[in-house]
A and B are shown apart, each in its own frame.
Chain A
Amino acid sequence: MNVLLIEINPFVQETTPISLGYIASFLKSKGFGVKILSIGQNTSLSRSAFQELISTFKPSLIGFSAYQRIMLYLIGLAKFIKSIDNTIKIAIGGPQATFMPSAAFAELPDVDYICRSPGELTLLGIARAIENGTPFLDLSGVSYKDDNNAVFDTPELEGYTDLDRYPSAYLDNVFDYSRMREAIMLTSRGCPHHCIYCYTPHAFKHKISFHSVERVVEEIRWIRKKGVKRFWFADPNISYKPSRLIEILERILKEGLETEMWLQTRADLVTSELLKKMKRAGVSTIAFGLESASERVLSKLGKHITSEKVAEAIRLAQNQGIEVELFTIYGLPYETFEDAVKTLEFVKKNKVRIMGNTNSQQLQIYFGTHMARHYEDYNIRPLNNNRPAYLSIGSQYETDHMGRRELHKIQQMWQANSLDGGKRIVS
């Protein structure tokens, strides 16, 4: 039986869909035929070509990574798929799906499953059920809509805590290396912190799990051998266990695997020694989350970090010749326009170039975040109460202190200071 996995991000250049890669590798190891279709800004794909893909590959199950911004694409493609073959089952997963209310099924007529637990095991359960001819029997980790349009929620499914139990998409050659500009790595999953605007901690129950150092190094070695020379580490806090990161970096140095790397971590998880080692191993850019330079605002985000600490981390990284990127957000609860300007000034004062990821963005209130569940407590006023159930508040809101005009004004100020006109690399 064949499974097609689709990642859509038409607003940036095509990237390596690492999460789908994990699922593909896992399903392949269980005997399924799997293809990944990654649709980026530079992907060439027409209706007829997509139809041809479906007709020739004949998937019985199609899984989509769901994000707030691509729901229209997803709905359109799902409708088109069903028009080609209405026996194909469609599942959605990823950040938008995990906490999407089951009521959304009413507005997603062509979606059969909403995956809520780790993708590998959840989709395996669905695939096996379809293969057995009982597509809705004995499922876990999903909500589903049966043939009579009745909606059911199933029990959660625990993922593996030892990530090495998942086969490697890279070592299994799931991706086309000839088209890969950079490899996206995920050496750990989850985050133990409690930032109120972030999806990850709640989705992973404030836990963090890891790949072994050996597995990470083996992947790096293999990917480099395949000719890819840039690595982008998507771990939310790659230095959460500093000793583990040091071991990875030392292995890279020992084996001569130095390569250009981008990574992100918390500003309170770096030291001068660690940054020095990072630089030697090839880290060209490190990203920290500042969010706001107003201590008053920052203290209410559950992040437990100070702007002073971030400034220190920036200086340490810059001293090592590592480019720094800062994630910042405007439109935060309790944030005034003056607070938002202070964040911009902080970035400029600390000589962080405003481009790519350092271009600020408005807070997005996504499903699963503390903010989404308690927005009223923070005096957030959604602007559109008529939005579809599959969409969260996103950026359509005002706060007590910032109306649409102020939000627009601070956005313009960031754009005016941006070196690339406000284009973001990562969302």
Chain B
Amino acid sequence: MIKPAFKKIYVILGEQDKENPEWVLQTLSFLYSHINLTSNIYLVSENLSDSMPQVERIRKSINEFLSEHLFARLYVHIVHPAPPSAIDDIKLCYKYLKQSTDKFDQEGYRHQELPRLILLPVLVPDNQVKPIQLIDLLDVLKNSFLLSSLYLNKDTLDLAQDEKLLSLTDKVYYGIGNFGEMTDIVCNLFRQDILDDSLDKLENNDLSMTEPCPDSLIISAQDGNIYCCMDAFLKNESPAKIHGMHSLEELLADYYQQNKSKKDCFGCREKVINFFADSPKSLATDQEIGALLYHFGILRQKSEDDFQAIKNFKQALNLSPIEETDPVYFRLGLGYTKIGHYDQALKAFKSVEIAYQGQYFFHFYKGLCYFGTEDYATALEEFSKALQSEPQHDDQIRILIYIGTCYNNLGKYEQAVDKLEKAKETAGDVKEIYNSLGFSYFKLENYDKSIKNLKMAIQIDPFSAIDYASLGSNYREKGDLNMAIGMYEKALALDPGITFVRENLERLNKNL
């Protein structure tokens, strides 16, 4: 088993430990041996000019590592605010940083491949910056680097409407929180990565979503801690306060052996998707998130967490284009059916009437809703439609049982018997069939047949109190009071809460 490698490392630059000013650099240098052959490092700075000495030291250590290890490839994302007042300084910083990549650019050209060191600016504009200023900066950066990315929040989201600006941009990150707040930025970048990873999984049919996100670390120079994932960062769960190489070894041992901070990766992914559902973003992203929420809804439904499933489906409906909503409405209806909110379920099913008309399961679930609201006549119509729409074998039996039960509830006992006997022929030993037939025959005063069926029900489920009770009633009607009392007593022994049995028993005992 090969130990996992870190694919992403987020570094919050800034105030350093006075006792150990090179802590971030030492930590990173230690981790180079544990990063993936192709990895991403995000250097998040409050102010690029001020962070340049630190960035430069890290850049040098990266160059050394890459020069020594030709199999390693690093994407270094430099994330920083880009207020109007700093734009000239930012250009100067990048002009300087560009020189450091020349060697790798030449090597890449010689080997007909992308360079092994790629610097990727990620600009965080404030609400004072004008599109033209950003365009100018992006244009300058484009001459030396791959296209830059933008990080926008609600105050700067309008910039995403500028087509010229977008044509100079590789990727737009969307976030919440205040301008330049580094912890918010790191969390939002991390969330974006979880979102991208989840979308990749969906695209590649890797549908479980329970796996941890790609191995990542957050290193904060601000608090001197290392976190094993975003969830741990948000909960301030750092395995150890790290101040030296010895502790880094311990951290890794902890990460590999126990991975303690990763507890609920499925839940974390779901939270992230829901986070984006509520955040400002592009229309295309809306659709992708809608598709993910739909998928998470299905996973929740499979695990019988119908309330969370409904929440996901409702969010998915808000984000999905109209032509993709049919399955979402159907699943939503299914969710409401399962929690007994039949009116809401029927409302959801109504939205997909045209698309799902003729599908047996659609009519079956609609039938269930009407059955649940005790509208047995309409339920019967839907179940009958389901039966005519070529259901699968097991479902056919379920439908027949429901039809029989509807007829029973409508007082049409002969029709009930007709359908339930058919179900019996097809299905064999299903308790519900015998139970319902027992009821139908009882109502038709055919007590022998009723008793025969109820005995079959008990044979399948010897602890069915209601079937003993029904047997008691049959014997009572036949005049066999001792047998009736015996059956009622058995029913009460199994379920002392059946009040009508207790009352019947008292009456019989008095008569005797």
Contacts and interface: CB of A to CB of B under 8 A. Distances in A.
A46 B5 contact: yes
A44 B112 contact: no
Interface in B1-60: 2-7, 32-38
A160 B240 CA distance: 59
B71 A384 contact: no
B73 interface: yes
Given A46-B34, A80-B69, A69 B6 contact: no
B107 interface: yes
A47 B6 CA distance: 11
Contact of B110 (A44, A45, A68, A384): A384
Contacts of A212: none
Contacts of A394: 112
B2 A45 contact: yes
Nearest to A386: B110
A76 B37 CA distance: 11
A13 B38 CA distance: 13
A13 B206 CA distance: 13
Contact of A46 (B6, B109, B112): B6
Among A10, A44, A80, A391, residue most surrounded by chain B Cβ atoms (within 10 Å): A44
Given A49-B2, A73-B37, A395 B72 contact: no
B215 interface: yes
Contacts of A396: 112
Interface string A149-169: 000000000000000000000
Given A46-B36, A46-B37, A73 B71 contact: yes
B116 A72 contact: yes
Contacts of A39: 37
B70 interface: yes
B111 interface: yes
Interface size range on B against A: 20 to 34
Contacts of B204: 13, 181
Interface string B68-100: 011111000000000000000000000000000
A391 B71 contact: no
B326 to A, nearest CB: 23
B7 A44 contact: yes
Given A44-B36, A69-B112, A72-B113, A77 B5 contact: no
B109 A48 contact: no
Given A46-B33, A47-B72, A77-B71, A395 B3 contact: no
Contact of A391 (B4, B107, B111): B111
Nearest to B206: A181
A76 B110 contact: no
Given A45-B2, A47-B32, A47-B33, A395 B112 contact: yes
Given A13-B204, A47-B72, A72 B111 contact: yes
Contacts of B35: 46-47
A47 B5 CA distance: 9
A84 interface: no
A46 B3 contact: yes
A424 interface: no
Nearest to A68: B112
Contacts of B37: 10, 39, 43, 45-46, 73
Contact of A73 (B4, B7, B70): B70
Contacts of A72: 70-71, 107, 111, 113, 116
Contacts of B6: 46
Interface string A52-81: 110000000000000011011101110110
A427 to B, nearest CB: 12
Contact of A76 (B4, B5, B69): B69
A423 B33 CA distance: 30
A380 B6 CA distance: 43
Contacts of B215: 44
Contacts of A47: 32-35, 69, 72
Contact of B111 (A41, A52, A71, A181): A71
A46 B31 CA distance: 10
A48 B110 contact: no
A44 B8 CA distance: 11
B386 to A, nearest CB: 30
B7 to A, nearest CB: 7
A388 interface: yes
A391 B5 contact: no
Nearest to B107: A72
B29 to A, nearest CB: 12
A61 B116 CA distance: 28
Interface string A74-94: 011101100000000000000
Interface string A3-45: 0000000100100000000000000000000000001010111
A10 B3 contact: no
Given A45-B2, A46-B33, A46-B36, A76 B70 contact: yes
A244 interface: no
A5 B4 CA distance: 20
A387 interface: yes
A10 B2 contact: no
Interface in B379-436: none
Contacts of B71: 72-73, 76-77, 80
Nearest to B252: A48
B103 to A, nearest CB: 13
A77 B69 CA distance: 8
Contact of A44 (B2, B32, B107, B109): B2
Contacts of A69: 112-113
A369 to B, nearest CB: 16
Contacts of B107: 72
Contacts of B72: 47, 76
Contacts of A44: 2, 4-5, 7, 36, 215
Contacts of A52: 2-3
Interface in B344-366: none
Contact of B70 (A13, A79, A386): A79
Contacts of B69: 47, 76, 80
Contact of B33 (A13, A48, A79, A388): A48
Contacts of B4: 44, 49
Contacts of A73: 37, 70-71
A261 to B, nearest CB: 17
Among B7, B111, B113, residue most surrounded by chain A Cβ atoms (within 10 Å): B111
A10 B110 contact: no
A384 B7 CA distance: 33
Nearest to B215: A44
Interface in A187-225: none
A97 to B, nearest CB: 16
Contact of A53 (B2, B33, B109): B2
Among B4, B5, B32, B107, residue most surrounded by chain A Cβ atoms (within 10 Å): B5
A58 to B, nearest CB: 16
Contacts of A388: 110-111
Nearest to B35: A46
Among A46, A73, A77, residue most surrounded by chain B Cβ atoms (within 10 Å): A46
B5 A45 contact: yes
A196 to B, nearest CB: 20
Contacts of B5: 44-46, 49
A70 B140 CA distance: 32
Q: Report the 4 A-B pairs with minimum CB-CB distance, sorted nearest first.
A: A76-B70, A46-B5, A76-B71, A48-B33
Interface of B: 2-7, 32-38, 69-73, 107, 109-113, 116, 204, 215
Given A45-B37, A75-B70, 19 more contacts: A10-B73, A13-B204, A44-B5, A44-B7, A44-B36, A46-B34, A46-B36, A47-B34, A47-B69, A48-B33, A49-B3, A52-B3, A53-B2, A72-B70, A76-B71, A80-B71, A384-B109, A384-B110, A387-B112
25 contacts: A10-B73, A43-B37, A44-B2, A44-B36, A45-B2, A45-B37, A46-B33, A46-B36, A47-B69, A49-B3, A49-B5, A49-B34, A52-B3, A72-B71, A72-B116, A73-B37, A73-B71, A76-B69, A79-B70, A80-B69, A80-B71, A181-B204, A384-B110, A394-B112, A396-B112
